[in-house]
Chains A and B, each alone.
Chain A
Amino acid sequence: MSTPAESAVAPQAAIGSRSGERARRITEIAFRVRELGIVLALALLIVVTGILEPRFIGAGSLRNLALNAAIIAILAVGQTLVILTRNIDISVGSILGLSAFMAGSLLSNDPGLPIPLVIALGMGLGGACGLLNGVLVTFGRVPALVVTLGTLYIFRGLAFLWTDGRQVNAETLPDRFLNLGTDSLLGVPILVLFALVVVLVVGQCLRNLRFGREFYAIGSNPEAARLAGIRTDRRVNTAFVISGALAGLGGVLFTARFGTVDATAGTGYELTVVAAAVVGGVAIFGGSGSVYGAALGALLLGSITSALIVLRVDAFWQMAAIGALLVLAIAIDRFVSLRLEAALRQRSSRRATG
């Protein structure tokens, strides 16, 4: 039933609880491995690239890696909430575009606007877009993939209507806003601080609040969630609103970082964001995963792209590498969860017979 080493540690009397503890250890390791694995892959990537091209591990370069990943990480946090509830939001790139252009045009018209207000407006606009998604999914009973595919085009179309071919240039924006994208606080870029705050706040809420646990419950078994008295529609709506609001925040930060914004800002981001969450171990069918994993996934994807650019790899191979990583991540997940399930089942059947 157990290895000699373990028997020596624990007295025979505690067989039942010990096998239970082992089951717990297996799952804990499996989940840690998920996030640990990304950290390891990241370290490996940076070291190998650094050996091949020493410029890659300069302080400025690593800072750039974090900067590049920050906006995607913020969006991936929102995406994680949505995916946890067994839905998906692929309209986030378009929401980011809308919010980015709004922030840019507001500030170039009135450079005196307080920045917190601009951020609040961006998040408000994004939240409203998210609410539309949520309402269509929960009240319209339309699958989230279809709803957000539709709103992906609608929001992007609105951005084109609004910009009417114009673009916002960095020269027209106030410096204190652009500094947001370049300045550091205690050596950490402000953009990265934003991402860290979002990841930590949402991560803590998901782990430690009843409200947060309900997202997991809904994705794990919607029917059981309803029977447990959870207002599932309301929670799913909340997930979409938060995802939208974070995409709105991402839009404002996008403008601060790049300065130049037109109607195409953030095109294609939705795929990177979903990929980041999945690579980060968020189960695409809901119920498990963490925002920490999703943020790490964003960092890993961004770093791979940077590494391949530094190594002057063809753009086609960059895409292929990201694709391969996605497939690999899903394959590993599948493998780990199958092994995990088998291991857990074995424990309980052994305990039942033993």
Chain B
Amino acid sequence: MSQLAEPQPGVAQDDAPILELRDAVKSYGAVRALRHGTIALRSGEVRALVGENGAGKSTLVKLLAGVIRRDGGEMLVDGEVVDFHAPPDARAAGIAVIYQEPTLFPDLSVAENVVMGRHPLKGGRRIDRRAMHDEVQDLLDRLGVRLDAERPVRGLSIADQQIVEIAKALSFEARVLIMDEPTAALSGPEVERLFGVVRALRDRGAAVLFISHRLEEVFEICSTVTVMRDGEVVFAGDTADLTTDELVRRMVGRELTALFPKLDSEVGPPVLRVERLTREGVFTDVSFEVRAGEIVALAGLVGAGRSEVARAIFGIDKPDAGAVHVGAKRLPAGRPLAAMRAGIGFVPEDRRQQGLVMDHSIQRNVTLTRLKALATFGLLRGVAERSLAAEWAKRLQLKYHRLDDPVAFLSGGNQQKVVLAKWLATDPKVLIVDEPTRGIDVGTKAEVHRLLSELAQKGLAVLMVSSELPEVLGMADRVLVMHEGRITGELSRAEADEESVMRAATGQVVVAA
């Protein structure tokens, strides 16, 4: 019934690609997410798409899926130029995308999820439930999985949900399957089962694009690989011709920019000690310490569990095991207020949602952590509030019009300074910053870096979670690398370079400090 269904052994590699993207360009505002997006997918091919965080992989996938539209370049299906306006267009062209978190209807049965909108009908346009069940059960059986077509999707594991998505793709005769980090949430046997399915699809003539941060998987399942870096496709070739090291080098190979004015500072005694911190299924056995005057970076790929560790230290999420000490004091688990009192400041990843009250004024945001100290009989003293805010605005060189303006008016970098001021006003001993320069323009980035560096010089212990390798390498005195919830590498400033960090981040080698 479909090309997938009919076995087509020995498909020639020199066929015209099923799906091809040539020199695609995509910008979000001033940010160029994709500059040179070129990729071709052929029948019977499993191609890997690899790259660092922010290399442009997701943008490329969204273009192929019809979720966003390209600004330039062209897309071809079976050699003919096409233009996708919405996801259904991509589906009609035989392209199916399986996201890390499947998009299914939890209240409906597996069978209905597969055929939604395309139910088989009998007389009077009524749904033929028997045909629907048989068709879907047959698909599931062909995929070699034991899933009952009639059970609801609610309660299925992520792995089973992905199988449902694959069955859906098969049912509309998809020829191209794009899998965005499908293995990130799967256990070992589940990954093996998925690979079995992928190989079967490949042998039936489908083209598969496989996105993964796990390089060993890339070598196991993919025959070809496309590498992206900084919004550009920088390499495309056969995996057989590459070693893991060569692949890593192609992923990172960029010059370190001189944006990071790290000042040398005197390193004092340990201030923050984290011992065997564990949160079931998120991170395991995380131990490290941060000394006064030191900037320690927590590096790794998206989803490695870095932000989660930061949140657990500050007490937003309660860890299942392990301890956090500030100085000699052990923090009670899951109590942000206690962490604050002990001298931890926390600048969250998403400042708009978690760090700031966007509609409130600059001064109110800056003084939010100090309300008690600024109030008399429960009433805020306006003058005290204003002078405190003005002082911090000056110290952080905040660019603003009036302190009464809502923070929403400020640029991203200046908003970040307000969040920093808010925490610095509490006079912390430890500052945890999660992605301190995300979405901030280059100039202001350098200012935020200078600020962090100065704070460390004055004896603050800084723990910085960052996905940007140059930032990690430029700022950190020490780099802790996480991979799948564990610390897989601890590198001194001298040892840390792009390759060593990337290797630890992809789980290649465990580096002893």
Interface check B373, CB cutoff 8 A:
no
Known: A27-B151, A208-B126, A344-B154. A213 touches B119 (CB 8 A): yes
Residue contacts A-B, CB under 8 angstroms, 27 given: A20-B150, A23-B151, A24-B148, A27-B152, A207-B127, A208-B126, A209-B126, A210-B117, A210-B125, A210-B127, A214-B116, A214-B117, A216-B108, A217-B105, A217-B108, A220-B106, A221-B103, A230-B116, A287-B108, A288-B107, A341-B154, A344-B151, A344-B155, A345-B155, A348-B156, A349-B157, A352-B157
Select one of B103, B126, B146, B150 contacting A351, CB under 8 A: B146
Interface check B385, CB cutoff 8 A:
no
Contact A23 B148 (CB under 8 A): yes
How many angstroms from the CA of A348 to the CA of B157 in the assembled complex?
7
Select one of B119, B154, B189 contacting A210, CB under 8 A: B119
**Per-residue contact bits, chain A 142-174, to B (CB 8 Å; 1 contact, 0 not):** 000000000000000000000000000000000
Contact B155 A20 (CB under 8 A): no
Interface check A117, CB cutoff 8 A:
no
Contact A352 B190 (CB under 8 A): yes
How many angstroms from the CA of A20 to the CA of B140 in the assembled complex?
13
Interface check B88, CB cutoff 8 A:
yes
Interface check B112, CB cutoff 8 A:
yes
Interface check B499, CB cutoff 8 A:
no
How many angstroms from the CA of A16 to the CA of B154 in the assembled complex?
18
Residues in B neighbouring A344, C-beta threshold 8 A: 151-152, 154-156
How many angstroms from the CA of A219 to the CA of B146 in the assembled complex?
28
Contact B107 A209 (CB under 8 A): no
How many angstroms from the CA of A208 to the CA of B156 in the assembled complex?
25
Residues in B neighbouring A230, C-beta threshold 8 A: 116-117
Interface check A227, CB cutoff 8 A:
yes
Contact A219 B152 (CB under 8 A): no
Interface check A29, CB cutoff 8 A:
no
Interface check A3, CB cutoff 8 A:
no
- Across the two chains, which residue of chain A brings its CB closest to B141? A17
Contact B127 A209 (CB under 8 A): yes
Binding site for A on B (CB under 8 A): 87-88, 91, 103-108, 112, 116-117, 119, 121, 125-127, 146-148, 150-152, 154-157, 159-160, 189-190
Contact A213 B127 (CB under 8 A): yes
Contact B126 A221 (CB under 8 A): no
Interface check A183, CB cutoff 8 A:
no
- Across the two chains, which residue of chain B brings its CB closest to A211? B125
Contact A229 B91 (CB under 8 A): yes
**Per-residue contact bits, chain A 211-244, to B (CB 8 Å; 1 contact, 0 not):** 0011011011101111111100000000000000
**Per-residue contact bits, chain A 306-344, to B (CB 8 Å; 1 contact, 0 not):** 000000000000000000000000000000000011011
- Across the two chains, which residue of chain B brings its CB closest to A229? B88
- Kindly name the residue among B91, B107, B156, B190 whose own CB sees the greatest number of chain A CB atoms within 10 A: B107
Known: A288-B107, A344-B152. A208 touches B146 (CB 8 A): no
Contact A24 B151 (CB under 8 A): yes
Closest Cβ–Cβ distance, residue A39 to chain B (whole Å): 23
How many angstroms from the CA of A27 to the CA of B109 in the assembled complex?
10
How many angstroms from the CA of A227 to the CA of B65 in the assembled complex?
10
Contact A352 B189 (CB under 8 A): yes
How many angstroms from the CA of A352 to the CA of B163 in the assembled complex?
13
Residues in B neighbouring A226, C-beta threshold 8 A: 87
Contact A17 B87 (CB under 8 A): no
Closest Cβ–Cβ distance, residue A121 to chain B (whole Å): 29
Residues in B neighbouring A351, C-beta threshold 8 A: 146
Closest Cβ–Cβ distance, residue A350 to chain B (whole Å): 11
Contact B150 A217 (CB under 8 A): no
Known: A21-B148, A344-B151, A352-B159. A220 touches B126 (CB 8 A): no
Known: A227-B103, A230-B117. A20 touches B151 (CB 8 A): yes
Closest Cβ–Cβ distance, residue A145 to chain B (whole Å): 21
Select one of A24, A210, A221, A348 contacting B160, CB under 8 A: A348
Residues in A neighbouring B104, C-beta threshold 8 A: 221, 224
- Across the two chains, which residue of chain A brings its CB closest to B146? A16
How many angstroms from the CA of A220 to the CA of B147 in the assembled complex?
21
Known: A17-B148, A221-B103. A347 touches B155 (CB 8 A): yes
Residues in A neighbouring B87, C-beta threshold 8 A: 226-227, 229
Supplied contacts A221-B105, A283-B107, A288-B107, 19 more A-B pairs, CB within 8 Å: A20-B151, A23-B155, A209-B127, A210-B119, A210-B125, A213-B116, A213-B127, A214-B117, A220-B106, A224-B104, A224-B105, A225-B116, A227-B103, A230-B116, A287-B107, A348-B155, A351-B146, A352-B159, A352-B190
Residues in B neighbouring A287, C-beta threshold 8 A: 105-108
Select one of A27, A217, A340, A345 contacting B116, CB under 8 A: A217
Known: A209-B125, A348-B156, A352-B190. A216 touches B105 (CB 8 A): yes
Contact A17 B146 (CB under 8 A): yes
Residues in B neighbouring A341, C-beta threshold 8 A: 154-155
How many angstroms from the CA of A217 to the CA of B106 in the assembled complex?
9
Known: A216-B107, A229-B91. A208 touches B154 (CB 8 A): no
Select one of B108, B146, B156 contacting A220, CB under 8 A: B108
Closest 10 CB pairs of A and B: A20-B148, A344-B155, A16-B146, A220-B105, A287-B107, A224-B103, A229-B88, A220-B107, A208-B126, A288-B107
- Kindly name the residue among A213, A214, A340, A343 whose own CB sees the greatest number of chain B CB atoms within 10 A: A213
| Docked complex: A43-79 residues within 8 A CB-CB of B | none
Residues in B neighbouring A17, C-beta threshold 8 A: 146, 148
Closest Cβ–Cβ distance, residue B212 to chain A (whole Å): 21
**Per-residue contact bits, chain A 1-27, to B (CB 8 Å; 1 contact, 0 not):** 000000000000000110011011001
Closest Cβ–Cβ distance, residue A31 to chain B (whole Å): 10
- Across the two chains, which residue of chain A brings its CB closest to B126? A208
Closest Cβ–Cβ distance, residue A343 to chain B (whole Å): 8
Residues in B neighbouring A16, C-beta threshold 8 A: 146
Closest Cβ–Cβ distance, residue A1 to chain B (whole Å): 13
